[in-house]
Chains A and B, each alone.
Chain A
Amino acid sequence: MSVTTAPTPATSPETHHEATGLWSWITTVDHKRIGIMYFVTSLFFLGVGGIEALIIRLQLFSPENQLISAQLYNQLFTMHGTTMIFLVAMPQAVAFFNYIVPLQIGARDVAFPRLNALSYWIYLFGAIYLNVSWFVGAAPNTSWVGYANLTSTQFSPGLNVDFWVLGLSILGVSSIMGGVNFITTIINLRAPGMKLMRMPLFTWMTFVTSFLLVTALPVIAVALILLAFDRFFATNFFVASAGGDPVLWQHLFWIFGHPEVYILVLPAFGVISDVIPAFSRKPLFGYPVVVYAGVLIGFIGWGVWSHHMFTSGLGPIADSFFVASTMIIAIPTGVKIFNWMATMWGGALRFTTAMMFAVGLVALFTVGGLSGIMHSSAPVDLQQHDSYFVVAHFHYVIVGGILLGMFSGVYYWFPKVTGRLLSEKLGKLHFWTTIIGFNLTFFPMHFSGMYGMPRRTWTYQAELNVEIYNQLSTVGAFFLGASTLLLLWNIWKSLKSGEKAGHNPWGAPTLEWSIPSPPHHYNFPELPEVRSREPLWHDDEKAAIEAVTLKEPVTEPEMPNPSFWPIIVALGTTVTWALVMTGKWWAPLLGLAFTAVGIYGWAFEDPFKKKAAH
């Protein structure tokens, strides 16, 4: 299991991993390569989800538009939401977990490297499976929340909902395994002296998020399995006419769905909690408070789910409880905002692109947080719920919080990953176009919602008089889309000819900046000893650490072998779920058999088998 046991003289330096070629990526178990694969895949799906959003915006450009059909529109908005949450935001966070967390805690890999590869491949195959639905003309079409009983076979007889139920089930497997892996990694693989309360905030938020992953995903798994039974085996969990309860779906979905919001946003909070101190040249203000606030958000996040259901008719007592819990969760979130500002206060702020995105998050996430306060008030929510006002709200949270945080992370850690800096000039252009495009897209939605435009609508009547707001949103969306191309261009250009980064281009304090950029496949020749939260900001500690992290090892630490079993098991898992669609009881067994072969091979493979000349 552990890959960080004392280095054993095993392989000679020439055999180490800089093996290239497709096969080396398919069989890799290196957390850094898996992180890169997660990142590239999620970036690809950001493009897919973005194109879906642009078609949606074109359709809404004018009232009573007939550009695309209602059926296609409903597939587009469903897939836009599903893609952005499950195929972009979550895996993008996992990409950072993978690449950064072992480096931040002084580990050579994650605790279960092959399981890590399996998580990635299941994510990839699940994502492909979900999108295959487009090519058979039956993309999911009942929104990303898939409210029962619209999803029943009676009202959704096609394959659309099947793809959704099974696709999300596959993806959930990947997320749960990822959560287990990172909890174990963070608990067990910290370098000497890396106490919990010395961990960088990004690692801390990964830790909290991982607990949310392993606890929240099973809830939606239950919901999805109940729905799958309703659809494939004619049970009636959500069928009202047979005594089932469609509102039960809403409870199950949101018991998962609200912690999911924090699964998405806490990693972004973690990123900027590292970025802001680095570029303020000051330690994070109130470190323990920011940590506890994150943990508290993780806990209270479990008790607020019914604020998504104020219109469902739960009665005044339940409404009041969820009003109170929802308002309470605003407090630790506010505390984080104030601590970030206090970190900057009195600092020497360097406005690198990473820092600008982090500051952008502080400013704009606040807007989303405050509109959230508005609909935490149940009666007010009765007006705002399921209107474009809510669409504005959660895009300020998701784009203004999560995406800006992730962009900040991209600019911050790109030099560590590639050894080259991203262009700051292009980066700043990217920042400003993102900010303008983002606000132009989503701010007007507050108005279209206030003036009565419900969400998930293929078109709107001219009488509503919300055309101008929709047009602004559409223009903004294309602006935002174009700005993202700037990031791609920047990555492409900087990969080829970016300025060389060196091991610590930002003068940042945490452990990942003590090793070469890009890191060796074994990360740390010897494990450093950590004595504080900002080890690289204390001259003596820095010298001691860099003495071991920058040297060339005499013998390389033993690292796990590449393995192709994870991709086999991932394929088997995906095929098993996908074959449920056929409705034949024996069909999934074929996939299970395939999976069993993979697990057998996996189990009897020696991960540390001595390599032949490779």
Chain B
Amino acid sequence: MKSARSILGLLGLALLTACAGEYPQSSIAPTTDFADTIHGLYVTIFWWTMVILAVVWVILAYILVKYRERPDSPKPKQIHGHLGMEIAWTIGPALIVVAIAIPTIQAVFATQQVPEDSLVVEVIGHQYWWEFRYPENGGVITANELHVPVGTPVSLRLHSDDVIHSFWVPQLGGKRDANPLRQVPEGQDLKYNWIHFTAQENGTFMGQCAEFCGDSHSLMGMRVIVESQEEFDAWLADLTAGHPQTVTQSQALNAVPTEAGTGASLPGPALQEAASQEEAPAEDPAIAEGRNLFLANCSACHAINGVSEAGQIAPNLTLLGRRSSIAAGMLENNVDNLVRWISDPQSVKPGALMPGLEYQGGRPPVVWPAFNLTPDQVRTVANYLYSLR
């Protein structure tokens, strides 16, 4: 009895607490109000189930020992039932169920309530990467690494561009599906799914797609960077400005107001700082070459703010050098990995739409032709992309 209790206790500890650092995708290390609500409910239910399990197992163990047949066992008394017992073990569990159901239904409503004045971020699932748009901030776009400010209510507006995906960053809270938007008759609203949370801690949190979405479902990761409001604002401003060093100094300066004019909340200091940094050294010719190669080979699908915004079907690469990972959280962000990804994306992410130098293994996923680039040119492009900070 005593040892059973201590075993249950140990089990309970392991299933209830997890050091977040050790388990970066832990669902039991909440860092938002949303995740907290879920976790509190989980802990309550966990202990109820442990009580039930203990009751069943202890009684069962007692029965198995006490009533095993012995040579001198008499014929057991032929009991057919007992109404009182039946009522007892119907009512007992029913009461526990009610005790669980009440806080559950409260939480169901509480977690789906739309907060006032929240920062809306549009989350779009793609095979196999994530797109994040900030419609209230000029519609600026990034991919695979979501930035949100700490302490501010955030509302994620989820949908998908192809098949169903599911947004799951466990430390921020539960998952919700990103469904493809259903075409509706005029006058009706599109149906989005929402996740609302207020982050309570700064940090970088890992997540990934949780609804099977095709060949590389397992490789559709993401990071969420929770940072202070100031850091967030600066990042947003830099993202909006993009990398206008593509053109001459004066053109770049001219470009700034146009870019900022599209609605960034903080056009000022960050941009000026960016501009002044570019003023000092003359641009590295290798970077310029990389940019030209990008424009010639990549820009049909990828956008870089301030360089080329035509490509909309693949991840926006603005500030790529700042990201900690590439290929939707699958590779550490460095030049070598960028080279690998550009040369042979299928080896990193089977079924990805990125063409690569030539198809190696697997089935060719798309009709698009392979990149017409030499390995040296790939490295030049990678160096350029990595320089986007």
Contact status B63-A371, CB under 8 Å: no
Contact status A370-B67, CB under 8 Å: no
Q: How far is the CA of A377 from the CA of B330 in the complex (A)?
A: 32
Who on chain B is nearest to A64 by CB? B330
Number of interface residues of A (CB under 8 A): 97
Most-contacted residue by chain B among A315, A349, A454 (CB, 10 A): A454
Q: Which residues of chain B (181-199) have a CB below 8 Å from chain A?
A: 181-184, 191, 193-194
Most-contacted residue by chain B among A150, A335, A367 (CB, 10 A): A150
Most-contacted residue by chain A among B23, B63, B329, B351 (CB, 10 A): B63
Q: How far is the CA of A423 from the CA of B49 in the complex (A)?
A: 37
The stretch that binds B, out of A37-45, A172-180, A181-189, A285-293, is A285-293
Known: A245-B182, A373-B100. A386 touches B68 (CB 8 A): no
Contact status B105-A335, CB under 8 Å: no
Contact status B176-A382, CB under 8 Å: yes
Contacts of A226 in B (CB 8 A): none
The distance from the CB of A161 to the nearest CB of chain B, in whole angstroms, is 12
Interface string of B193-230 (1 = CB under 8 A from A): 11000000000001111111111111101000000000
Taking a contact as CB atoms closer than 8 A, the residue among B69, B162, B183 that contacts A348 in the complex is B69
Contact status B183-A242, CB under 8 Å: yes
Contact status B104-A155, CB under 8 Å: no
The distance from the CB of B23 to the nearest CB of chain A, in whole angstroms, is 4
Contacts of A69 in B (CB 8 A): 350, 361-362
Contacts of A287 in B (CB 8 A): 80-81
Known: A313-B193, A385-B175, A450-B27. A331 touches B63 (CB 8 A): no
Taking a contact as CB atoms closer than 8 A, the residue among B22, B191, B209, B350 that contacts A70 in the complex is B350
Contacts of B212 in A (CB 8 A): 74, 142-143, 147, 150, 386, 455-456
Cβ-based interface call for A479 (8 A):
no
Taking a contact as CB atoms closer than 8 A, the residue among B108, B168, B176, B211 that contacts A316 in the complex is B108
Who on chain A is nearest to B107 by CB? A379
Who on chain A is nearest to B23 by CB? A451
Taking a contact as CB atoms closer than 8 A, the residue among A149, A286, A323, A465 that contacts B163 in the complex is A149
The distance from the CB of B173 to the nearest CB of chain A, in whole angstroms, is 7
Contacts of A367 in B (CB 8 A): 53
Cβ-based interface call for B301 (8 A):
no
Contacts of A345 in B (CB 8 A): 63, 67
Who on chain A is nearest to B85 by CB? A342
Cβ-based interface call for A461 (8 A):
yes
Contacts of B42 in A (CB 8 A): 374, 377, 380, 383
Cβ-based interface call for B111 (8 A):
yes
Contacts of B127 in A (CB 8 A): 155
Contact status A331-B28, CB under 8 Å: no
Q: Which residues of chain B (15-64) have a CB below 8 Å from chain A?
A: 15, 18, 22-28, 37-38, 41-42, 45-46, 48-49, 52-53, 56-57, 59-60, 63-64
Contact status B56-A366, CB under 8 Å: yes
Cβ-based interface call for A282 (8 A):
yes
Interface string of A130-153 (1 = CB under 8 A from B): 000000000000110001011000
Q: How far is the CA of A328 from the CA of B182 in the complex (A)?
A: 34
Contacts of B207 in A (CB 8 A): 452
Contacts of A461 in B (CB 8 A): 221, 329-330
Q: Which residues of chain A (208-265) have a CB below 8 Å from chain B?
A: 240-247
Contact status A384-B27, CB under 8 Å: yes
Contact status B174-A341, CB under 8 Å: no
Cβ-based interface call for B313 (8 A):
no
Known: A155-B214, A240-B179. A379 touches B111 (CB 8 A): yes
The distance from the CB of A426 to the nearest CB of chain B, in whole angstroms, is 21
Contact status B26-A452, CB under 8 Å: yes
Contacts of B78 in A (CB 8 A): 282-283, 537
Q: How far is the CA of A130 from the CA of B184 in the complex (A)?
A: 37
Cβ-based interface call for B76 (8 A):
yes
Contacts of A346 in B (CB 8 A): 67, 76-77, 79
Chief secondary structure at chain A's binding surface: helix
Contacts of A316 in B (CB 8 A): 108-109, 112
Known: A331-B90, A451-B23, A451-B25. A380 touches B112 (CB 8 A): no
Taking a contact as CB atoms closer than 8 A, the residue among A288, A350, A383 that contacts B170 in the complex is A383
Contact status A70-B215, CB under 8 Å: yes
Q: How far is the CA of A219 from the CA of B27 in the complex (A)?
A: 35
Q: Which residues of chain A (336-394) have a CB below 8 Å from chain B?
A: 337-339, 341-342, 344-351, 359, 362-363, 366-367, 370-371, 373-374, 376-387, 389
Cβ-based interface call for A80 (8 A):
no
Interface string of A4-36 (1 = CB under 8 A from B): 000000000000000000000000000000000
Cβ-based interface call for A540 (8 A):
no
Q: How far is the CA of A566 from the CA of B168 in the complex (A)?
A: 50
Number of interface residues of B (CB under 8 A): 99
Cβ-based interface call for A464 (8 A):
yes
Contacts of B52 in A (CB 8 A): 334, 366, 370
The distance from the CB of B43 to the nearest CB of chain A, in whole angstroms, is 10
Q: How far is the CA of A106 from the CA of B252 in the complex (A)?
A: 92
Q: How far is the CA of A316 from the CA of B112 in the complex (A)?
A: 7
Q: How far is the CA of A348 from the CA of B175 in the complex (A)?
A: 50
Q: How far is the CA of A465 from the CA of B97 in the complex (A)?
A: 34
Contact status B166-A311, CB under 8 Å: yes
Cβ-based interface call for A561 (8 A):
no
Known: A366-B56, A371-B49, A383-B175. A452 touches B41 (CB 8 A): no
Contact status A241-B179, CB under 8 Å: no
Q: How far is the CA of A74 from the CA of B216 in the complex (A)?
A: 9
Contacts of A142 in B (CB 8 A): 212
Q: How far is the CA of A71 from the CA of B351 in the complex (A)?
A: 9
Contact status A380-B175, CB under 8 Å: no
Contact status A243-B162, CB under 8 Å: no
Cβ-based interface call for A539 (8 A):
no
Contacts of A383 in B (CB 8 A): 27, 38, 42, 170, 173-175
Contacts of B79 in A (CB 8 A): 282-283, 285, 346
Contacts of B22 in A (CB 8 A): 465
Contacts of B310 in A (CB 8 A): none
Contact status B214-A150, CB under 8 Å: yes
Who on chain A is nearest to B127 by CB? A155
Interface string of B71-96 (1 = CB under 8 A from A): 00111111111100110011001100
Cβ-based interface call for A457 (8 A):
yes
Q: How far is the CA of A449 from the CA of B175 in the complex (A)?
A: 13
Q: How far is the CA of A282 from the CA of B18 in the complex (A)?
A: 47
Who on chain A is nearest to B48 by CB? A373
Cβ-based interface call for B344 (8 A):
no
Q: Which residues of chain A (300-315) have a CB below 8 Å from chain B?
A: 311-313, 315
Known: A283-B78, A319-B108, A327-B100. A247 touches B67 (CB 8 A): no
List 28 contacting pairs A-B, 8 Å CB cutoff, sorted by A: A69-B362, A70-B351, A142-B212, A150-B212, A155-B162, A244-B182, A246-B180, A280-B67, A283-B79, A286-B80, A312-B177, A313-B179, A335-B89, A339-B86, A348-B68, A348-B73, A351-B68, A370-B52, A373-B100, A377-B107, A379-B37, A383-B174, A384-B27, A386-B175, A386-B212, A452-B208, A461-B329, A464-B24
Ranked nearest first, the 4 interchain pairs of A and B with the lowest CB-CB distance are A382-B174, A452-B25, A457-B218, A313-B193
| A interface list, Cβ under 8 A from B | 69-71, 74, 142-143, 147, 149-150, 155, 240-247, 280-283, 285-289, 311-313, 315-316, 319-320, 323-324, 327-328, 330-331, 334-335, 337-339, 341-342, 344-351, 359, 362-363, 366-367, 370-371, 373-374, 376-387, 389, 446-447, 449-461, 463-466, 537
| B interface list, Cβ under 8 A from A | 14-15, 18, 22-28, 37-38, 41-42, 45-46, 48-49, 52-53, 56-57, 59-60, 63-64, 67-70, 73-82, 85-86, 89-90, 93-94, 97, 100-101, 104-105, 107-109, 111-112, 127, 162-164, 166, 168, 170, 173-177, 179-184, 191, 193-194, 206-219, 221, 329-330, 350-351, 361-363
